[in-house]
Amino acid sequence: MGTYTLIKGNEISAEIYPDIKKRVLNLKAKGITPGLGVILVGDDPASKACVKMKERKCKELGIESVTVKLPMNVTEEYLLQKVDEFNKSTLVHGFLIQLPLPEHINENHIIDAIDPKKDVDCFHPENVGRLFVGNPIFLPATPAGVQQLLVRSNIKTTGKHVVIVGRSNIVGKPMAAIMMQKGIGADSTVTVTHSKTKNLSDITRQADILIVAVGKAHTITADMVKEGATVIDVGINRVSDNDLAYPGCSRLVGDVDFDNVKDKTSAISPVPGGVGPMTICMLMRNTVIAAEHALRNQI
Ligand code: GUN
């Protein structure tokens, strides 16, 4: 083929932000400034960078952001106390706990403690259940961002075979739940593959739309992709570039061997600049949705 569309998350998220900004202004006119809380445990550079980006975007949109930074050795009990404070806060309408958490903390205990009405990540079992039955309050940010990339790039999903590589709670599983629903940008036939899948490339080669979220560079090579497929790369991996012009430097790559795969596709999302900007955009949208719910409950 050789001619492919580059699916640019920066451009597509820019189409969505005006609506979010308008909704923030509407809320402010009614006396509510939407507030996003973030709990960051430890000092993992990737998590810190992620939280910084969220704070910056909130500021741009007029959303209040409140970040609670806790040390790596924080107890589960203390973390639950902070979750409870956000649950009760009238200034924070939605909040999240940046993952991953240290090993001594049980992630499920923390997620279970979030008020589902403030769960802008859509990780609480009640919200996961709502997503599965097709009655969600929030959509999980990264899968919702992928769906928006498809819809706004005019990629048809109805009856298409969507193959998802990766079964995480953050991407793979909710991505499947979204694409199998009835409706626009969904109605797909979905296959979920993972690290124990046999003959992975036989399955990925059947994909009309291949969504990859495993967190390992070069997982998808050109021989694993059908001619004319759409490829969405959710991976963010930092690789060192010792062999390039800047020894010792590193750069971000996805899970897809982009340079070799791109010419086989009809459309492909790059890393960076593909799914990443959409995730943050969908998180901002969820924060506004949470604040709109709070306003409705107040009246
Ligand atoms: N870590 C990586 N992705 C995510 C996400 O979507 N939400 C949270 N809370 N942590 C993450």
pLDDT per residue as tens digits for the range 22-57: 999 999 999 999 999 999 999 999 999 999 999 999
Instruction: State if residue 286 touches ligand 1 by the CB under 6 angstroms criterion.
Output: no
Please, which pLDDT band fits residue 246 given cuts at 50, 70 and 90? low
Does 243 have pLDDT greater than 60?
no
Distance 99 CA to ligand 1 centre (A): 5
Q: Which two tokens stand for residue 276?
A: 């990443």
Instruction: State if residue 234 touches ligand 1 by the CB under 6 angstroms criterion.
Output: no
For residue range 216-242, list pLDDT tens digits in order.
999 999 999 999 999 999 999 999 866
Helix (H) or strand (E) holding 36: strand 35-41
> What's the whole-model pTM score?
0.96
59 vs 167: CA distance, rounded Å: 33
Instruction: State if residue 119 touches ligand 1 by the CB under 6 angstroms criterion.
Output: no
Closest ligand 1 atom to Cα of 142:
6
Q: Which of 40, 44, 47, 50 to mutate to test the pocket of ligand 1 (most atoms within 8 A of CB)?
A: 50
Which protein residue has the closest C-alpha to ligand 1 atom 8? 98
Which protein residue has the closest C-alpha to ligand 1 atom 1? 99
Residue ranges in the chain assigned as alpha helix (H):
9-29, 45-61, 76-88, 107-113, 125-132, 141-152, 172-179, 200-204, 258-261, 275-298
Distance 98 CA to ligand 1 centre (A): 5
Would you state the torsion angle of the CA atoms of residues 52, 56, 58, 62, taken in this order, to the nearest 10 degrees? 150
What three-state secondary structure class fits 222? helix
- Residues marked active site are found at 54, 98, 121
Q: Which two tokens stand for residue 2?
A: 């050789």
For residue range 77-98, list pLDDT tens digits in order.
999 999 999 999 999 999 999 9
Residues of the chain above pLDDT 70, percent:
97
Q: Which two tokens stand for residue 69?
A: 């930074």
Cβ-proximal residues to 264 (8 Å cutoff; 6+ apart), any chain: 1, 222, 225, 226, 227, 228, 229
Instruction: State if residue 41 touches ligand 1 by the CB under 6 angstroms criterion.
Output: no
Least confident of 19-23, 141-145, 214-218, 244-248: 244-248
Closest ligand 1 atom to Cα of 141:
6
Q: Which of 54, 98, 169 to mutate to test the pocket of ligand 1 (most atoms within 8 A of CB)?
A: 98
Q: CA 291, 293, 295 angle in degrees (round to 5)?
A: 70
CB contact at 8 A, 266 and 228: yes
Cis peptide before 272 (omega within 30 of 0): yes
CB contact at 8 A, 39 and 98: yes
End-to-end CA distance of the chain: 57
Does 1 have pLDDT greater than 70?
no
The type of residue at 205 is R
